[in-house]
Amino acid sequence: MKFMVTVMVGVLLLVLLNFSVVLAATPSRDIRQTPHNLSISGGGGDHDVRSSQEGGICVFCHTPHHASSEAPLWGRDLPTLNIYTTYISPTLNASVEQPRGDSKLCLSCHDGTIALGSVAGGVNLDPGLGVMPSDPDPLKNPNLGTDLRDDHPISFPYPSAPELSNPVSWPEEVRLEGDIFLECTSCHDPHDNQYGRFLVLDSSLQQDALCVVCHEKNGWDDADSGHATGGTRYPAVSATVAGQGCTSCHLSHNAPGNPYMFKAFQEEDNCYLSCHQDPPYENIWSQFNVSLYSHPVGLTQGVHQLDLINGMESVPIPAEKKHVECVDCHNPHQAGWQGAPHGDSSALVPPATVAPDAGGPLRGVTGIDKTGSGMVDEVQYEYQVCFKCHAGLWADQFADSGPFRPSRQYQTFDQSSRFSAANPSYHPVVEDRQGDGSSLLPEYQLNMLRIYCIDCHHPHGSDQPYMLKAENKADYPAPGASYPLCFSCHDYDYLLTPAASPVSSSVALHNGHVIDSKVSCSVCHDPHGVPADQGAGANDGSHLVNFDLDYVSGSPTYDSAARSCSVSCHGSNPQNY
């Protein structure tokens, strides 16, 4: 009886191996109707690969006798050991091995080193059937090659790590080999193509259905996570973005940009080419690449390194090389449109933001606190993002002096020092304003207690030096009395027109300098903030007075209590006001 059962099993296998009904290779649970049917009856898919003389279907992978010990009835030759370059990433908290288990079996076809008709024992089922074909379209390319750095990592013990789910919560179709290793078969079932690409879950409605089984990115499930939900800013495309999810930016195989499996080779192109240069989106590409002054996101490649905990660059440790990338200021997994634009009282997604609070576009980004040295895991205030580069010990090291930057009496690129509440004067970025706000336009006098960095600077790019949002002449003699940046908040008549009412007690001083002598605001005033100089007769740091030494030479002094200045511009010193 035992002998008869064995014979029947053998006969059944032979029948399966030679089944040759001609069927189309469309999504199906029937192996005969999938691209894995390499027999005469097979073909289909994007490449229509089929034998011209072999009628068996299963025989390309399996054999009823003398099978390899690698897997049940496995009949193919296996790739040479240690020929693969494995995936690496600063955020991968696991040790990736050379392909093993089921993954090694898959690669016996999909690495393109062994002819599809070659099986164990030196037998070639069809000499005309070459290696796995390649395709320039990464979504259609079944030939992964031996460099696996552009593919999702395989053959590693699935770790317990931040932002990775517990396997006990997974659907039964998604499995670890031996309950330990993540392999090709965690995502693909080689015998079942009902969902296309041999995926184990239906991704027709949600293309990242498999991704989010394992990956639980912080903030991805938030209602305002624009890349996950599509957001509310552009309803015409939000459903498409929501349906693509992770696949808007990442490819699981043949990704041009690695690590992180980006769809574009350069990090910022991943943002531009996918969305952010074409309607209905704002053309961020032009702001960076057409503006005269911008953050140089395209200047460096491969120097931005993420950490394992929060997915953003580690701070406050200085970067080894000066650089800036989109993801230094935006967390693509959490960013949304809540409170944007910053400071707009009628934000599209409430609640609106009030300076210095950070809204949705900056959600989930690391930062530096107002001291210039303390790390912030998730910023609360907008300036904490700017301080990642513009404050602390490395601000001077990475600053670009540039041809337009004034040479100040008090000179530092550490903006945490300039905006410090200990200073006699500062623009109210980090702390509430000083004084009653009488120099401000009437609509700002009561409610403008703080301002954003982006109230004066365009963070992506501008045609004005320092990425200013409006012209603010810094030379002498200045060509005119128009300073649109300053007077976007400050009252021109209050400061410069003696006949106006009310007027500043310094209106004659300002009028004589700015209108009559063509002295720009910048010659006397530092827009960020000024500590008090040390020593007798030094500048006392009040009223943002920090002379530009390109125009005010010698040892200029300013004493707000005595209302006097000693500068090289004057015929005699001190001048009292």
Q: Which long-range contacts (CB under 8 A, 24 or more apart) does 400-407 make?
A: 402/465, 404/465, 404/466, 404/474, 405/466, 406/474, 406/522, 406/526, 406/548, 406/549, 406/550, 407/548, 407/549, 407/550
In the chain, how many H helices and how many E strands? 14, 13
Give yes or no for a contact between 539 and 545, defined as CB atoms under 8 angstroms apart. Answer: yes
Distance CA 230, CA 209 (A): 16
State the CB neighbour count (10 A cutoff) for residue 78: 16
Q: Are strands 293-294 and 461-462 parallel, antiparallel or unpaired?
A: antiparallel
Give the residue carrying structure tokens 């040790």: 95
pLDDT of residue 348: 87
| Spatial contact of 529 and 423, defined as CB atoms under 8 Å apart | yes
CA separation for the pair 38, 560 (Å, rounded) = 88
Signed CA dihedral, 150, 151, 153, 154: sign only: negative
CB-CB contact of 341 with 347 (8 Å): yes
Q: Which helix (H) or strand (E) holds 398?
A: helix 395-398
Contact 500, 492 (CB under 8 A): no
Position 536 scores a pLDDT of 53
Non-local CB neighbours of 283 within 8 Å, separated by 6+ positions: 276, 277
**pLDDT given for residue 314 in this prediction:** 60
pLDDT of residue 71: 74
3-state SS string over 320-349? CCCCCCHHHHCCCCCCCCECCCCCCCCCCE
* 126 within 8 A of 137, measured Cβ to Cβ: no
Whole-angstrom distance, CA of residue 233 vs CA of residue 245: 16
Residue bearing tokens 């395709």: 135
Q: Model-level pTM greater than 0.95?
A: no
Residue with tokens 């603010």: 472
Q: Which residue positions in the chain have pLDDT lower than 50?
A: 1-25, 316
Residue boundaries of the structural domains of the chain: 1-216
| Token pair listed for 311 | 């997915």
Q: For position 306, what pLDDT does the model report? A: 66
Half-sphere exposure of 306 (CA within 13 A, CB side): 22
Q: Give the span between the Cα atoms of 218 and 518, in whole angstroms.
A: 54
| Cis, bond preceding 574 (omega within 30 deg of 0) | yes
Write the CA distances from 327 to 162, 324, 331, 552, integer angstroms: 19, 8, 6, 41
* Degrees to nearest 5, angle at CA 484 with 481 and 486: 95
Cα separation of 467 and 460, whole Å?
8
For residue range 502-531, list pLDDT tens digits in order. Answer: 999 999 999 999 999 999 999 999 999 998
Q: Environment class of residue 515 by beta-carbon count within 10 Å: exposed (0-12), middle (13-18) or buried (19+)?
A: middle
pLDDT at 12: 34
Our measurement of the distance from residue 88's CA atom to the centroid of its chain's CA atoms, rounded to an integer in Å, reads 18
pLDDT at 89: 87
Are 474 and 520 in contact by the 8 Å Cβ rule? The answer is yes
User: Contact at 8 Å (CB) between 441 and 489?
Assistant: yes
